[in-house]
Amino acid sequence: MKCYKAKWILTAEDKILEDTALVVDEGKIVNLIPNKDVNFDEKYVKDLGNAVITPGFIDLLTQFQYTNIGLIKPAGIKSCLKSFFINLSKKYNFAGIKPDNYALKWANILASYYLFDRNGKLKSFDDGVTMAIKSGTTCIAQVSKEFKYFETINKLPIRTYLFFEVFSDTSEKSKKQFKEMRARVEDLVQHKGSKTHIGIMLNSESGVHKKMWNLFSKYCRKHNMLLMTRFAEAKDEIEWLEHGFSDIDILHKFMGLRKITPYTKDLKPVEYLANLKVLTNKVLAANANYLTESELEELASTGVKYIYQPDYSVEICGKKLDFETVLKYFSGNFGFSSQSFLPEKNFNLLEIAVRADNKNILPLEELIKYLTIYPAKILRLDNITGSIKIGKDADFNVFKIEEGKDYNAIKENPQPYATYSGGRKIVKKNQTRFTI
């Protein structure tokens, strides 16, 4: 048993506790008691002083395999040859396309990623997840179409939701890929650890054939499995739905997919998926940057959960919803993603959230909920994590603040002093205490 005395505890349960101790036993929160009533043996008590405890943070969409893009260039003859042919294909397919084009930006990301060998990809993932944990993240929703990350994820000291990403371009391929993916997923479900959860990511409206939407949406409903998608995030996608073609087709060709066409033209994004009976409260939709206000209202009415990716939306999509709009339509029903492709990436969700709420719309204790209990509910993990509550896993962050300041000071210094997962200290003073 261990007892952590703090000046403030932001529980994410509509309570701010002052001068309270968090008691942990066998990885669980077993009590919350006034500091003055702590009477344990001193060796079991950690007095954190003028510190703030928050629940551990939850990142709703990560792709850590891309972390080292732009930072590390693979060397060697084999990589040089591979680079030559990949860049040749990119130049051929995207000739005349402007550098700020959404499809070209993703082609550049994928071209860089294709150059990594297996070890390079694994290191890129390891580096990303390590930086996220150092920033106070104790639960991630990782997206990848590659199964190679499962073994690493299954050994992480934090809770992980692994969403396997699916693309498809024809009805026949959709049937085949569905059977293969279903078999792999059901096998992995039998081998996953207690901290690992599995879902499906259907890439986007323009990247998945309607047959695959039908197959996996039915499968996920039947097996009570979460389904994620990128949604109306780029102008190219809106044009694709309207006209049946756009620059997104060039990206698909570069990826080795045939041209996918909408099952019918002139539908708005929400209508397109609603007609396929996809939109339910078990669906997580990222971005929706190019929806109108009425479309956002319609999307919210379906019960779909929302993933807010402010950095990614600006960098790759050229537009993002402002925080006020997200709150208007998805209050209590969204969480943040730290995804970014800048060389200097920021995995600190608290800093991202504070920057997003630059008008100080929410008090800190409410903003914290969008990093903790609300995404926990979205991932259906709120009975286990997401708040400081007796019976839940001891996933929490410790922030040191100056004497005389209250808990709001963590907005000025959002770097945790220490991070705990399941009662185990996994980071202290930006140094990890685990290996991947």
SS3 letters across 362-376? CCHHHHHHHHCHHHH
Please list the alpha-helical segments (H only) found in 54-170: 77-93, 102-114, 118-134, 150-154
Confidence at 85, pLDDT banded by 50, 70, 90:
low
94 near 254, Cβ under 8 Å?
yes
- What are the pLDDT digits (tens) for 356-372? 999 999 999 999 999 99
Geometric angle at alpha carbon 277, from 271 and 282, rounded to 5°: 105
Average pLDDT over residues 334-362: 96
Average pLDDT over residues 228-241: 96
| pLDDT of 251 higher than 70 | yes
To the nearest 10 degrees (0 to 180), the angle between helices 293-301 and 323-330 is: 40
Return the structure tokens found at 266.
Answer: 């002139």
Distance CA 306, CA 279 (A): 12
Annotate 339-360 with DSSP letters as a single string: ---SSS----HHHHHHHHTTT-
Closest to 354 in 3D by CA, of 344, 345, 364, 339 = 364
pLDDT at 176: 96
To the nearest 10 degrees (0 to 180), the angle between helices 210-222 and 171-191 is: 30
pLDDT at 77: 67
Any idea of the CA torsion for 70, 72, 75, 78, to the nearest 10 degrees?
Answer: -60
Q: What is the CA radius of gyration of the chain?
A: 22
pLDDT at 331: 98
Closest to 242 in 3D by CA, of 206, 279, 286, 292 = 206
Distance CA 86, CA 107 (A): 10
Domains by residue range for the chain, with CATH: 2-56+386-432 (2.30.40.10), 58-69+128-378 (3.20.20.140)
Which three-class secondary structure state does DSSP give residue 100?
Answer: coil
Task: Note every long-range contact of 187-191, with CB atoms under 8 Å and residues 24 or more positions apart, other chains counting.
Answer: 188/147, 188/150, 191/154
| pLDDT of 232 higher than 90 | yes
What is the distance between the terminal CA atoms of the chain, rounded to a whole angstrom?
27
- What are the pLDDT digits (tens) for 109-153? 999 999 898 999 999 999 999 999 999 999 999 999 999 999 999
Closest to 429 in 3D by CA, of 126, 134, 3, 48 = 134
Distance CA 205, CA 150 (A): 26
Distance CA 72, CA 59 (A): 24
Average pLDDT over residues 298-318: 97
pLDDT at 78: 67
Average pLDDT over residues 245-256: 93
CA distances from 325 to 296, 359, 426 (A): 9, 13, 36
pLDDT at 430: 95
Distance CA 174, CA 89 (A): 26
Average pLDDT over residues 315-322: 96
- What are the pLDDT digits (tens) for 165-221? 999 999 999 999 999 999 999 999 999 999 999 999 999 999 999 999 999 999 999
Closest to 272 in 3D by CA, of 330, 314, 209, 349 = 209
Report the b/e string of 252-290 with b at 16+ CB within 10 A. Answer: bbbeebeebbbeeeebbbbebbeeeebbeebbbbbbbbb
pLDDT at 259: 83
| pLDDT of 373 higher than 90 | yes
> How many CB atoms are located within 10 Å of the residue 80 CB?
11
Q: Which residue has the higher pLDDT, 87 or 22?
A: 22
Confidence at 42, pLDDT banded by 50, 70, 90:
confident
Q: Which residue has the higher pLDDT, 142 or 1?
A: 142
Confidence at 258, pLDDT banded by 50, 70, 90:
confident
pLDDT at 420: 98
Give me the residue label for tokens 């396929």.
276
Average pLDDT, the chain: 94
Average pLDDT over residues 77-96: 77
3 near 40, Cβ under 8 Å?
yes
pLDDT at 80: 72
In this structure, what are the phi and psi dihedrals at residue 16, rounded to the nearest 5 degrees? Answer: -115, 115
The pTM (predicted TM-score) of the whole model is: 0.96
For residue 112, count CB atoms less than 10 angstroms from its CB and return exposed for 0-12, middle for 13-18, buried for 19 or more: buried
